Structure 1
Amino acid sequence: MEKNLFREVYKQVCGLALKDCPPSSLSGLLHGYLSVYSMVRVYPWLEDEYGSLWDIHDRIREIARVIQELLKDKDMPVDSRAGYAVDLMDAYLLYSDMKFLDVALDTAYEILIPKGSDKIVLPCRTPNICRLLCNCYYFTGEYEGGLLAEKLVTEAMGMSRKFNCDELIDWWSAICVYECVFGEIHVLEKERERLIGEQIRLGTKVEQVKNEKIGSFLLEFGNSPLLSIVFNILGKREFDRCNQYYSNRE
């Protein structure tokens, strides 16, 4: 069922003109397309369903250029600006345009390091800031940023029962980024078991919330503000499904 839904969502997304898309939808669109690109790159025969690798690549570049323009607005709320900087870094990992990375890193340090200082100061303690710290560490080896990211993740794990639905999804994304960059959280052994249990609980809850988002989307299919969110959710699930299906056939 989800596979057919993803195909329908993908068709709808491909028909969108970016100039008509609200800025808040760009991150979901970008990461949904990154999942599609990964699927087609690993399983080339999927071009028949999702289009050529180059066309997907070009769409990602188009979204990244819109995000790059948005980052010129220094009056934008800092959390939103941090999120767009991370998105541009994620696009760079595929597209390898140094302008994307340069703009993203310049923005990151404008956000994290006050003028006249050489130390990182967190403007807020949000998932986007956590993702930004992780990506800065990945690209520059910024050790202090890595320590701060770990603190934010540990704090989030302890507070996760108080998060609303959107906060759960956003923090789960940040935690996943942290794990990709750093691996497991460094805590005392007596704390490890508790954190593992909390992470399992959080992951289960996040999947429930995502299913609820998909259910809400289906009620207003065709004209839903949830389109980009659902595209991102289903894109990741479809890539995981492909990996499992084709690995079992080998």
Structure 2
Amino acid sequence: MEKNLFREVYKQVCGLALKDCPPSSLSGLLHGYLSVYSMVRVYPWLEDEYGSLWDIHDRIREIARIIQELLKDKDLPVDTRAGYVVDLMDAYLLYSDVKFLDSALDVAYEILIPKGSDKIVLPCRTPNICRLLCNCYYFTGDVECGMLAKNLVTETLGVSRKFSCMELGDWWWAIRAYESVIGEMDVFIEEKERLAGGRMRLGVSVEQIEDEKIEDFQQNGSDVCLIAKAFDILARREFAVCNEFYSKIE
């Protein structure tokens, strides 16, 4: 059922004129395409179904260039701008254009270090800022960014039951980003286990939230932001299904 729905969404997304898409849809579109790219790269015979790696790669580059332009607007809310920075960094991991990374890091530290200061000051305590700190740690080895991200995650796990559905979903991905770099940091095994346990509990709720987003899309499928959200979710799930299916064959 979801596979057929994913194919339907993918056709819709491939037909979108990216320059006309609202900025709020770009992150979902980008990460959906990143999942599709990974899926086709690992299972190249899927090119017949989802297009060539080059075509998918070109689509990702187009989204990244739009995001790069959006970053130039210093009047954007700081959390929104931080989200664009993280998206551009994520795109760089595939499309290794150092200009993307340089632009993202310049804006990242512009956000984190107030003008006239030489110290990091968190402008807000949001999932985007947490992901920003994680990516800065990943790309620069800035230990302070890693420790600040750790503090935000610890704080979040303590109050996660108070979050709205949207906040819960956003923090889920911030915690996943943190987990992807925590292995590089000097932390106790007990802390890693506590983090993993907290993430598993959140995961159940997040899956329910994602199911609701897909249902919402099915009822209001003409909204580009809903299409982008559904694309991101379904692409990740399809990749996971492929991994499970083909691992059994091997």
2:128 and 2:174 in contact (8 A); partners too: yes
Structure 2 CA distance, aligned partners of 1:157 and 1:13?
35
1:146 aligns with 2:146: yes
Percent identical among aligned pairs is 75
Match of 2:244 in 1: 244
Q: 1:16 matched to which residue of 2?
A: 16
CA contact (8 A) 1:6 1:235 kept: yes
- Alpha-carbon separation, structure 2, partners of 1:193 and 1:141: 23
8 Å CA contact 1:34, 1:60 repeated in 2: yes
Q: Secondary structure at the match of 1:75?
A: coil
Query: Does the 8 Å CA contact 2:64/2:91 hold for their aligned counterparts?
Result: yes
> What is the CA distance between 1:195 and its match in structure 2?
4.7
Q: Show structure 1 runs of 4+ deviating over 2 A.
A: 183-189, 191-199, 221-225
Match of 1:181 in 2: 181
| TM-aligned CA deviation for residue 196 of structure 1 | 4.3
Q: Is the CA contact (8 Å cut-off) linking 1:150 and 1:185 kept in structure 2? A: no
Quick one: which amino acid aligns to residue 37 of structure 1? Y
TM-score w.r.t. length of structure 1: 0.95
Q: Deviations over 1:63-92 (max 9, x none)?
A: 000000000001100000000001000001
Count of paired positions: 249
Gaps of at least 5 residues in structure 2 are none
The structure-2 alpha-carbon separation of the partners of 1:76 and 1:188, relative to structure 1 and needing over 3 Å to count, comes to same
The one-letter amino acid of 2:34's match is: L
Alignment RMSD: 1.6
Q: Give the AA of the match of 1:23.
A: P
- Quick check: 1:32–1:235 contact (8 Å CA) kept in 2? yes
Paired position in structure 2 for 1:198: 198
Query: SS in structure 2 opposite 1:225?
Result: helix
Q: Distance in 1 between matches of 2:150 and 2:237?
A: 26
Change (3 A) 1:188 1:43: closer
Q: Contact 1:217 / 1:224 at 8 angstroms: preserved in 2?
A: no
Match of 2:172 in 1: 172
Is contact 2:134-2:181 (8 Å) kept? yes
Distance 2:82 2:72 in 1: 12
Shift of residue 55, structure 1, vs aligned partner: 0.2
Is residue 26 of structure 1 aligned with residue 42 of structure 2?
no
Gaps of at least 5 residues in structure 1 are: none
- Distance in 2 between the 1:122 and 1:193 partners? 27
